[in-house]
Amino acid sequence: MKLLRKLCAIHAPSGNEGAMTEFLLAHIQQNLSRWKVQPKVLAGGLFQENIILVFGDRPRTAIFAHIDSIGFTVRYGHQLVKIGGPVLQDGIALVGSDSAGAVECTLTVDEHSNALGYSYHRELDRGTDLTFRPDFRETHDTVQCCYMDNRLGVWNALQVAETLEEGIIVLSTREEHGGGAVGFLGRHVFEEYGVHRALISDITWVTEGVRAGQGVAISMRDRGLPRRNYLNSIIALAKESGIPFQLEVEGSGGSDGLELQSSPYPWEWVFIGAPEDHVHSPDETVHKHDISAMVEMYRFMMKRL
The residues near 283 (Cβ < 8 Å, ≥ 6 apart) are 144, 145, 146
* DSSP string covering 264-299: SS--EEEEEE-EEESTTSTT-EEEHHHHHHHHHHHH
Say what the pTM is.
Answer: 0.97
Using CA atoms, how far apart are residues 97 and 292, in angstroms rounded to an integer?
35
CB 266 within 8 A of CB 235: no
CB 193 within 8 A of CB 186: no
Confidence band of 180 (pLDDT split at 50, 70, 90): confident
CB 134 within 8 A of CB 147: yes
Averaged pLDDT for residues 65-76: 98
pLDDT digits (tens, 9 = 90+) for 264-290: 999 999 999 999 999 999 999 999 999
* Selection from 226, 283, 229 nearest residue 255 by Cα: 226
pLDDT digits (tens, 9 = 90+) for 235-255: 999 999 999 999 999 999 899
The CATH number of 2-69+137-304 is 3.40.630.10
3-state class of 215 per DSSP?
A: coil
Domain boundaries, the chain: 2-69+137-304, 71-132
The domain over range 71-132 is classified in CATH as 2.70.70.10: no
